[in-house]
Amino acid sequence: MKRRDFLTRLSIMLSCFVGFLIAIPVIGSLIAPFLVEKPRKWRDVGSVEKFNVGDTVLVTFKDAEDLAWAGTTAETAAWLRRESQNEFIAFSINCTHLGCPVRWESDAELFMCPCHGGVYYKDGTVWGGPPPKQLQRYPVRINKRKVEIKTSPVPVTNI
């Protein structure tokens, strides 16, 4: 075998090996979300009497991945709206465009994203701006006169 042929084959083999090493974490990151079930927990956000019908308020609670070392980073929030005596809706605070936190403007009854001008109606549907879809919702239930939100790891993507 000539020296040139040997070096050509060696560089092809080394290139394939390096490409394989690079591909392992890329492939792993692409398939991992489908293999790992995300933890979800019901979190108490307050008694039913605490919320007035028609009001939208910011509530905070512990994230689903409640790790001991997480500290204050385990805290997350949602916009909770009381529609009627027994009906609540909880929205993610993250804009569906790039994840910036939206704020509630009670006078206009709109959610507004300060980053790129996204605007949502009070039901979470898009009013205008760049958001591609409505605000994500958390499941909500009333359990023993307490309002509970079913958490999911942040950011909320599909519920």
pLDDT digits (tens, 9 = 90+) for 32-73: 777 777 678 898 999 999 999 989 999 988 877 766 776 677
Pairwise CA distance, residues 19 & 31, whole Å: 18
Residue the block writes with tokens 């994203």: 113
Please compute the mean of the pLDDT values over residues 84-96 and round it to a whole number. Answer: 91
pTM, two decimal places: 0.70
Which of 70, 61, 72, 118 minimizes the C-alpha distance to 94? 118
Both structure tokens of 88: 């609540």
Residue type, 56: T
Pairwise CA distance, residues 66 & 76, whole Å: 11
Q: In this prediction, what percent of the chain has a pLDDT beyond 90?
A: 48
